Structure 1
Amino acid sequence: MKTLIFTTFAMTAFAANSVLGRLALKGELIDAGSFSAIRLFSGAMMLLLLVILNKTMNKNSGSIRWREGSWITSLYLFVYALAFSYAYLSLDTGSGALVLFAAVQVTMVIMSLIKGKMLSRYEWLGLIIAFSGLSYLLLPSATAPPLLPALLMLVSGIAWGLYTLAGKGAADPLLQSCNNFLRTIPFIAVLLLFTLEQSTITTNGVLLAIASGAITSGLGYAIWYVALKGLTVTQAAVVQLSVPIIAAFGGVFFVNEAISTALVISALLVLGGILVSSIVKR
């Protein structure tokens, strides 16, 4: 039940993060570099605050282990956020989401196979069903994407898959997430050196970036690390296919988009695939 609750919250946060990003970048309220920088920095500050509060409330918890996490994991996080922002300047929603989540799933499954963890029939079946549901929703609206933005989204998906795998064995998910975000600050500084002169910033754009970083990224990723303890690698890969579905329904409620038959069928296939994949845990 704990894994279910945390996984549901994390997937909802990721979907909300996607909506916030689309609102900011597609609406040209902020440039991609500034959005990425503010998103990561605000996420780091939120997680740092939570770590300090947790330490204050648990006085006997010992010293804070600031070495949790790693620079390579932080690099995965930075590459994911930056490539995602720049790719969505040119890609339409259907093409971008399809490339991103296909890259995430393939990366996690390949890494699992490389480590010698063979997939069961249920994991293969669940993955195929869920991915077919996502493809059913996105392919009708997906046109051949521009090569460079598509490659950027592919890189973003690979980086997110590697970041997820790196956090699966986290002893302290909150602290590890905090340290990973804090380690992106030097990367942010370098990014701003190259993009500051071309930056476009509005108040609404900054607020959307802060919400994306502090709430749907910082909190969402920390909770996702906790949820990963109760999931297999394949389940973690499959369950993330629910994010575009949740985001699509978020568009229905917050952007007044219509509920289509394709959306309903796709949602049933994705959720069914997740259910089939979870049978292996029993």
Structure 2
Amino acid sequence: MTNSIRSHLVVAVLTLVTMLAFAGNSLLTRLAFQTTHIDAALFTAVRLGSGAVVLFALLRARPRPRANAREAWLSAALLFVYAAAMSYAYRGIGTGAGALVLFAAAQVPMAVYGYRHGERTSVLGAVLAFGGLTAFLRPWNASPTLGAAALMAVAGVAWGLYSLRGRATESALQWTANSFICTVPMALGWLLLTAHAISVDTLGMAYAALSGGITSALAYVLWYWVRTRMSATGAGAVQLSVPVFGVLLGALILNEPVTAYSLAAGAVTLAGVALVSIKTRR
């Protein structure tokens, strides 16, 4: 096996792990609001705070130069908007449907950026990916409320912009840690503004901590590493696989039904993602 093939294989495997972690984020968030009484502001604060603690500990073990403060705060603002909007949205939208809106919205800024910088991709792949996702969620009986869908779209756009900002970073760990650490005062400030609605739930906080420390913080470091090794369009397209993984995880953990129709639509989606990832070029 040549070094080039081995390198591409490593990127592909780590990308798959990252997408599974992103699906885990949707699952944990939905699980918290479906089975516990935690409120969205507290969930967001615990999630971001846990991520900051984990990444700060990693930085202490591997100290690196400080990043530009202004850049860190701008990225942190996008990260906070994404996390907060996602938390509030998942109070009224299902796991797979929420992931669909989230990552479809994230495609918009990433695709626009890629097109403006000369990237071209497979039209067939894009059609298969979007068409497969539409078909994949069609059998669902529960339709999201307009407010929840709009909030999830806001979260998706913020996530897309956040991903783009980290494309040129030299240290995925440093960049992600700075972003999470700078979100802490934002999350605490929002928590104070919504103090009248705080609802403490131990299990809900555990879900938030797991989401923040593992499927967010560590997964985002991994995402920035693989993100720098793919195009903007390809990075956006590969995230369209997350709703598929989200529903599969929901079936395994929350006993949500999965039909042969859904599996076929999911296979079409993944085929489209593969085409876009392979064919995207400048």
Letter in structure 2 aligned against 1:152: L
Q: Give the C-alpha shift of residue 41 in structure 1.
A: 0.7
Counterpart selection for 1:9 from 6, 14, 17: 17
Letter in structure 2 aligned against 1:19: L
User: In the alignment, what sits opposite 2:170?
Assistant: 171
Counterpart selection for 1:42 from 39, 50, 63: 50
C-alpha separation between the residues in 2 aligned to 1:118 and 1:239?
Answer: 15
Letter in structure 1 aligned against 2:137: L
Summarize the alignment of residues 1-282 of structure 1 with structure 2, pairs less than 5 Å apart: 1-55=9-63, 63-67=64-68, 69-113=71-115, 115-120=116-121, 122=122, 124-141=123-140, 145-280=144-279
Q: Give the C-alpha shift of residue 94 in structure 1.
A: 4.9
Q: Which moved more, 1:19-28 or 1:30-39?
A: 19-28
The answer for unaligned runs of 5 or more in structure 2 is 1-8
Q: Which moved more, 1:138-147 or 1:184-193?
A: 138-147
Q: Give the C-alpha shift of residue 248 in structure 1.
A: 1.3
Q: Give the C-alpha shift of residue 281 in structure 1.
A: 6.0
The answer for unaligned runs of 5 or more in structure 1 is 56-62
Letter in structure 2 aligned against 1:112: G
Structure 2 counterpart SS, 1:141 = coil
Asked whether the 8 Å contact 1:94–1:139 carries over to 2, the reply is no
Indicate the percent of aligned positions where both proteins have the same amino acid. 39
Asked whether the 8 Å contact 1:94–1:142 carries over to 2, the reply is no
Q: Give the C-alpha shift of residue 116 in structure 1.
A: 3.4
What is the TM-score normalised by the length of structure 1?
0.90
C-alpha separation between the residues in 2 aligned to 1:163 and 1:80?
Answer: 9
Structure 1 counterpart SS, 2:242 = helix
Deviations 1:121-165 (A, max 9, x none): x2x322221111111111332665433222211111100111111
Deviations 1:4-38 (A, max 9, x none): 12211111111111111011012243111100110
In 2 relative to 1, CA 54–224 (structure 1 residues): closer, same or farther, beyond 3 Å? same
C-alpha separation between the residues in 2 aligned to 1:13 and 1:238?
Answer: 16
Letter in structure 2 aligned against 1:278: S
Q: Give the C-alpha shift of residue 111 in structure 1.
A: 2.5
Letter in structure 2 aligned against 1:110: V
Aligned residue pairs, count:
272
Asked whether the 8 Å contact 1:126–1:238 carries over to 2, the reply is no
Asked whether the 8 Å contact 2:86–2:155 carries over to 1, the reply is yes
Letter in structure 2 aligned against 1:277: V
Q: Give the C-alpha shift of residue 93 in structure 1.
A: 3.8
Structure 2 counterpart SS, 1:249 = helix
User: In the alignment, what sits opposite 1:59?
Assistant: none
Asked whether the 8 Å contact 1:92–1:142 carries over to 2, the reply is no
Letter in structure 2 aligned against 1:67: N
Letter in structure 2 aligned against 1:65: R
Letter in structure 1 aligned against 2:227: L
User: In the alignment, what sits opposite 2:4?
Assistant: none
In 2 relative to 1, CA 258–146 (structure 1 residues): closer, same or farther, beyond 3 Å? closer
Letter in structure 1 aligned against 2:197: Q
What is the TM-score normalised by the length of structure 2?
0.90
Letter in structure 1 aligned against 2:21: A
Asked whether the 8 Å contact 1:7–1:227 carries over to 2, the reply is yes
In 2 relative to 1, CA 144–19 (structure 1 residues): closer, same or farther, beyond 3 Å? closer
Q: Give the C-alpha shift of residue 251 in structure 1.
A: 1.8
Letter in structure 1 aligned against 2:11: T
Asked whether the 8 Å contact 1:14–1:243 carries over to 2, the reply is yes
CA-based RMSD = 1.9
C-alpha separation between the residues in 2 aligned to 1:267 and 1:119?
Answer: 24
C-alpha separation between the residues in 2 aligned to 1:107 and 1:261?
Answer: 33
Q: Give the C-alpha shift of residue 95 in structure 1.
A: 4.1
Runs of 4+ displaced beyond 4 Å: none
Structure 1 counterpart SS, 2:37 = coil
C-alpha separation between the residues in 1 aligned to 2:256 and 2:187?
Answer: 35
